[in-house]
Structure 1
Amino acid sequence: MIKFTKNVSVSSPIPQDSIDRVVRLIEAGKLFRYDFDLDPNESDPSTVMENELAAEVANLEREFSDYTGHRYTVAVNSCGSALFLGLKAAGVQYGDKVFTNALTFTAVPSSIIHAGAVPVYLECNGDYQTDLEDLEKKINDYPDVKFFMLSHMRGHISEMDAIRELCDREGIFLIEDCAHSLGTQWYDKSRKEYIHIGQHGKVSCFSSQSHKMLNSGEGGFLCTNDDHIAAYCILAAGSYEGLYEKHACKPLDKNLFEDIKLSVPNFSLRMSNLTAAVLRPQLANIEGTIAGYKKWFLKFRQVLSSASELIYLPEPPELVSRAADSMQFNLLEFSNEQVDEFVRRTAERGIKIQIFGRRDNARYFRNWKYSFEQSPRLGKTEKIVSCTCDMRLSLHFDESDINLLGYIIKDVAYGLLREEKEEREKQPDGAFRDHKNGVADAFGDSGGPIAARHEAWTRYDDEAYQENGRKILANYLAYQLTTYLNSSDRILDVGCGTGLTGMELASYGFTEIHGVDSSEASREAAQKRNVYREVRLAEWDSPLDMETESFDAWVFAGVLPPDQPPFGAFDALIRILKPQGLLAMAMRVEEEDFHYDKIKALYEKNRLKEVFREKIGVLDSANHEIIIARKIRSLF
């Protein structure tokens, strides 16, 4: 059993520049954000240096605004504090109702409770976005609600243009929770360019908690383009007397502050210079961080894509360019028991996955009992979160890590599906109609041309491939080839059938996949998969008409008639391999097996050398082995 041994929960590393800044701050004792002079003595270099050190938060606010495109930023001690400040700045009073997502983290409804308000929960759709129909319904049901705290949970962005239009029409104050969305962009049709997310609402809030794009342990930012909101939040965050003047990113009109400062409570939510010193070098390199996460996120999606019948990967709106630091997917048609077993088995193999809709998960709305007297009825969200898998990504990963993570997840999911089928189709005598029975049914005992019998197999192949364990074989074979081949190497899928092995190969990034099959129906089905450069038709019992030494590898994971080698003979197939090329097979190995005997004969002649061999049991009718051998010398 292959296991993942790296820690998937490792936070992003702190750069050395951040560490050096923190040390200098500690040595100078300048930890308080306002511990600097507006007019330092320029003739004293030590005073100037200490003054610069003490302005870490002020400088960070300006730099953060420059990055997101907001006019103003207020740095605070957490994103939850920023959300609370946003509600207070919006004018939320005790007892007011606030719309918010049912799919979010507990800090979001907690900030509403902290502000003395009452959450009204909205449904999500299958892509983890706000359900627009439910939003319109709730607006009609609750005409007195004038605030909406929209959470971009785990960086999944809703249809923001439509939501802003609804909020503007109904006079609803929109606050965006962008805790997981730093670096995500929205295409602004009017400006014909991408803008940073957080520009649809009047307030947007970001996080620098450890498992985000920026890592300071704790930290948050409130961003706005509104002068009055900015002035209120600067004061409410903890700027007393005339300290607001020490903000580098603030409205220039002092009257905005002087007119309200005695009426605004000081909630003491300031960010410290220590936190800012940790963050500023990270923000300077944020594009590199985002690129790293995007690379692994897109690679992970690609690996999982071949399991689309079991694993649903949410899609963002077409106007969104995501910057994701984690991965979410839904298990399709799995019972709660199967979902829990999936989590248990992946954990056993080193992958920590949590399900949103489980007891003690802070992302499950039923666990927010502090926010309601009666549990809300949210059937759509309930169904979605009951099978939503959540796992972190890490910049410590490399491509082989992503391949292994995806392999294990698919292997466990395929295995559960196979077990379900066995239980469902168990015969009275305890036998199963597995792959071996399917071959017998499809090929029959009446003889006839191989191609004709293979046409019958095509009708059986898709369902059988998914449910009887053969996809476990193809997944394992494709994964193992990532160790030996480059993504651009030419691979021939021999007896490609309807193309499901090709899909597994493509999911691991192989781009030069060619197919060959004796069935026209199979060839057409395989071509529609859009993973093959071409799919040729050839007689099963005739040599292939292909150029000598033209492929880096050929793979065979399909059905083999009991006494018939594919396409003439193994010699003919090996002819098309380049020197040092690979043959890779998932085959049934029994005593004096016809096919393996042929392979062993080529070992003995020093024409092939076995580089990998492992038994894998997935079917009741037979054991299988994955065999990878390298071509040592030409046969001709």
Structure 2
Amino acid sequence: MASDLPPPRLTRDLTQPEAIPEAGIARALELMRSGRLFRYGEMGADQLDVSRLEEEFAAFVGRRYCVAVNSGGAAMFLALKVAGVAPGDPVLVNGFTLAPVPGAILHAAAKPVVVEIGRDCVIDPDDLVRKASSSGAKVLLLSHMRGHIADMDRVLETCTGHGIALVEDCAHALCTSYRGRTIGTFGVSAAFSAQAYKHLNAGEGGFLVTDDPVMAGRAILHSGSYMLHGQHLSTPGPDVIETLSEHVPNFSMRMSALSAAILRPQLAELPRRAERWNRIHDRIAAGLARSQHLRVPERGGDHAYSATSVQFCVLGLDADAMEAVLERAQARGLPIKWFGAERQAGFTSAPRHWRYAGDQGPLTQTHRVLAQLCDIRTPLSLTDAECDLIAEIVRDAIEAVVAARRDGRHRQKASRSSSQGREP
């Protein structure tokens, strides 16, 4: 006998980040009581929260220098500038990413050249070769979107062979690696984010890391040091910066001391967080894989990931059916982001939405993948039961839509057969 009870709903807010560690709250209150929120101390005050964070973050990632700024987008923009990107230059970028990535290229007055992605959401190495050969680009801004890692051997081979500088967007790729090498150490520089839904949470914030002293010096000056660069602990030294100081404009993109105070204690928490995020991801992914209508993008065995969300492809459904799936899931409390939507919505977008980036051609392969691709946030507070419920809601929504469409086709077929069997 079928139950009359409604199916269970998800009551968890998937946008809820983990609380700030008490040490960060205490230091933030200290700073607020002092009023000293600017990263530099003009009169020699001990304003080293940001400088210490830069030193610690550089060590965590494994780069020589780190410059903390006010957002991940600002870090990408500065990474392009210090890599020598000039107005009008073509810059390669993969097609699965968010709008701030092509936005950073436009911010640098350069021109995005979008490279196709493959079925597992990473850059297509063959199209990268084609676009590297045809575009004349000298920089690739590679977005490790949602922590999916490309074949870095082939990426580096193409970059080396075409004289292209690699800049990594690691907003979703902290605590990840490829064949034992940390993501964020492959390029001439890398940008990280501390926006609320990333591995580190200051609400907003970003980091540029590099091993190049001139790039680091330029980034410090661009970020807006007011020649107080002596207060940096992660620095190429005063001689390098003095040589550059009258040639590099101040873009005022500094991180505040308050953001750094909140972030520093979170660094120690990252290994625990990454392990928990991956357990959540893997449990939901296993539940999704039980449906024949779903495919979870593969994360290669040659890299370690740190997934703060889960992605899946819905197979064989058109746009109307996808909308029906999303509505059914939402009715049970589960918001699903869909990269194939006609209009970009909160934290989703596709190259066809980037009209400001200029004509990129059809990008048929990329849009075919994105038309199927969905995304669910996975806060660290999710329980195992909630992970299982999320997978169940997705499976049930898809099964219901598929069954309804099958029944509709059967009714249409029966109606046609009935009409053909009537006497004229």
2:381 to 396, 403, 406: 396
Instruction: Report the CA distance between 1:427 and its aligned residue.
Output: 7.6
Instruction: Report the CA distance between 1:428 and its aligned residue.
Output: 5.7
5 Å matches for 1:536-547?
none
Q: Which residue of 2 aligns with 1:299?
A: 283
2:322 to 336, 339, 354: 339
Structure 2 unpaired stretches of 5+: 1-6, 416-424
1:26 aligns with 2:19: no
2: distance between equivalents of 1:428 and 1:215? 55
Q: Deviations over 1:292-330 (max 9, x none)?
A: 2111111111111211x2111011232211000011111
Q: Which residue of 2 aligns with 1:360?
A: 344
2: distance between equivalents of 1:235 and 1:15? 31
Amino acid corresponding to residue 141 of structure 2 in structure 1? M
1:169 aligns with 2:167: no
Q: Deviations over 1:61-119 (max 9, x none)?
A: 01101111111110000010011101110111111110111211110111111101000
2: distance between equivalents of 1:315 and 1:427? 38
Q: Which residue of 2 aligns with 1:108?
A: 101
Q: Which residue of 2 aligns with 1:505?
A: none
Name the stretch that deviates more: 267-276 or 28-37: 28-37
Q: Which residue of 2 aligns with 1:410?
A: 395
Higher relative contact order (CA 8 A, sep 6+): 2
1: distance between equivalents of 2:89 and 2:375? 32
2: distance between equivalents of 1:429 and 1:111? 55
Q: Which residue of 2 aligns with 1:126?
A: 119
- TM-score, normalised to structure 2's length? 0.93
2: distance between equivalents of 1:364 and 1:181? 20
Conserved 8 A contact 1:12-1:210: no
Conserved 8 A contact 1:75-1:219: yes
Conserved 8 A contact 1:121-1:376: no
Runs of 4+ aligned residues of structure 1 deviating over 6 Å after TM superposition are none
2:173 to 167, 178, 181: 181
Q: Which residue of 2 aligns with 1:377?
A: 362
Conserved 8 A contact 1:22-1:277: yes
2:239 to 237, 255, 261: 255
2:8 to 2, 25, 32: 2
Amino acid corresponding to residue 299 of structure 2 in structure 1? P
Conserved 8 A contact 1:76-1:219: yes
Task: Tell me the SS of whatever aligns to 1:296.
Answer: helix
Q: Deviations over 1:280-299 (max 9, x none)?
A: 11112111111221111111
Q: Which residue of 2 aligns with 1:211?
A: 197
Conserved 8 A contact 2:340-2:373: yes
Q: Which residue of 2 aligns with 1:274?
A: 258
2: distance between equivalents of 1:126 and 1:418? 26
Instruction: Report the CA distance between 1:375 and its aligned residue.
Output: 5.4
Instruction: Report the CA distance between 1:418 and its aligned residue.
Output: 2.1
Conserved 8 A contact 1:207-1:219: yes
2: distance between equivalents of 1:139 and 1:202? 17
1: distance between equivalents of 2:160 and 2:300? 21
1:387 aligns with 2:407: no
Conserved 8 A contact 2:114-2:360: no
Instruction: Report the CA distance between 1:152 and its aligned residue.
Output: 0.8
Amino acid corresponding to residue 251 of structure 1 in structure 2? P
Amino acid corresponding to residue 121 of structure 2 in structure 1? Y
Conserved 8 A contact 2:113-2:360: no
Conserved 8 A contact 2:196-2:202: yes
Instruction: Report the CA distance between 1:420 and its aligned residue.
Output: 2.7
1:59 aligns with 2:52: yes
Q: Which residue of 1 aligns with 2:268?
A: 284
Assess, with a 3 A threshold, how the Cα gap between structure 1 residues 332 and 263 changes in structure 2: closer, same or farther: same
1:324 to 298, 301, 307: 307
CA RMSD of aligned residues (A): 1.6
Conserved 8 A contact 1:36-1:55: no
Q: Per residue, is there more helix in 1 or in 2?
A: 2
1: distance between equivalents of 2:229 and 2:391? 50
Amino acid corresponding to residue 242 of structure 2 in structure 1? E
1:221 aligns with 2:207: yes
2: distance between equivalents of 1:155 and 1:325? 8
Structure 1 unpaired stretches of 5+: 39-49, 188-193, 431-636
Task: Tell me the SS of whatever aligns to 2:244.
Answer: coil
Task: Tell me the SS of whatever aligns to 1:285.
Answer: helix
Amino acid corresponding to residue 425 of structure 1 in structure 2? H
Amino acid corresponding to residue 100 of structure 1 in structure 2? V
Instruction: Report the CA distance between 1:163 and its aligned residue.
Output: 0.4
Task: Tell me the SS of whatever aligns to 1:2.
Answer: coil
Assess, with a 3 A threshold, how the Cα gap between structure 1 residues 23 and 427 changes in structure 2: closer, same or farther: closer
Amino acid corresponding to residue 35 of structure 2 in structure 1? G
Instruction: Report the CA distance between 1:422 and its aligned residue.
Output: 2.2
1:35 to 18, 27, 41: 41
2: distance between equivalents of 1:321 and 1:66? 19
2: distance between equivalents of 1:235 and 1:209? 23
Instruction: Report the CA distance between 1:424 and its aligned residue.
Output: 3.1
1:11 to 17, 30, 40: 17
1:148 aligns with 2:140: yes
Conserved 8 A contact 1:12-1:211: no
Q: Per residue, is there more strand in 1 or in 2?
A: 1
1:135 aligns with 2:141: no
1:422 aligns with 2:415: no
Task: Tell me the SS of whatever aligns to 1:121.
Answer: strand
Conserved 8 A contact 2:149-2:178: no
1: distance between equivalents of 2:115 and 2:9? 39
Task: Tell me the SS of whatever aligns to 2:52.
Answer: helix
Instruction: Report the CA distance between 1:423 and its aligned residue.
Output: 2.7
5 Å matches for 1:486-565?
none
